[in-house]
Amino acid sequence: MAVTSPEVKKALEVIFAADSDIYQTRGFQRRIGYGERPALVIIDLANAWTRPGHAFTCDDMEVIIPTNQALLKAARAKRIPVIYTTTAYQDPKGPRSDTGMWSRKIPVETLLEGSEAAAIDERIAPEEGEMVIVKKSASAFYGTNLNAYLHAQRVDTVILTGVTMAGCVRHTTEDAIAGGFRPIVVREGVGDRVPGVVEWNLFDIDAKFGDVEPVEKVLEYLEGIEAFTNR
């Protein structure tokens, strides 16, 4: 959760209270709930986002990293699918760049495939058999095999963490529900660069696209499910 000043938090509370009234009277903010076969999808917690000194550096890693460590421990104990994403490009500065139009908006030229910047943070490093998707766009689903992989694993629930809340996490959440999955966004496991962005997007996602849940409830859910088998 990005650091937000008390003044901003107070203003957001007033706004969210009024917005909640509007949503609830119109039938929004329903709960999608947990399913039976979850996967953990960790979005862009690579060094360019988790370490200082990068254009993409996000705040609150002192909360986000331990949250993801706890989720990984619980997920691995139940052998559920764990998927990481990073965003990187083969030729970000050359004449055949695969950055697409995104390079006209943000400094994607700093994200080279195979570089240290694009590598998953070693504090939450993937273990053998855990998928790492190198994506080119915001959503973990767009242009990747994530949807097919999750369906092949008979996953019905995607537990989502990572950065950025206003971009890659949000778009992955929207594509998850569009693809027939139950999105669960872990409140303490997500972040961004701009104060206020996390809180607003969590509120809006919880109203329309998925359930925002505290890490304690997600860990309790994982503790209560059966371990995955190959059948």
Closest to 44 (Cα-Cα) out of 222, 186, 165? 165
Closest to 35 (Cα-Cα) out of 158, 200, 202, 161? 158
Q: Tokens 């003044």 identify what position?
A: 7
The reply to whether 58 belongs to the active site is no
Closest to 181 (Cα-Cα) out of 136, 132, 135, 146? 146
In the set 72, 155, 166, 168, the catalytic residue is 168
C-beta of residue 142 within 8 angstroms of C-beta of residue 100:
no
Cα-Cα end-to-end distance for the chain = 38
State whether residue 105 is helix, strand or coil.
Answer: coil
State whether residue 186 is helix, strand or coil.
Answer: strand
State whether residue 190 is helix, strand or coil.
Answer: strand
Residues annotated as part of the active site: 168
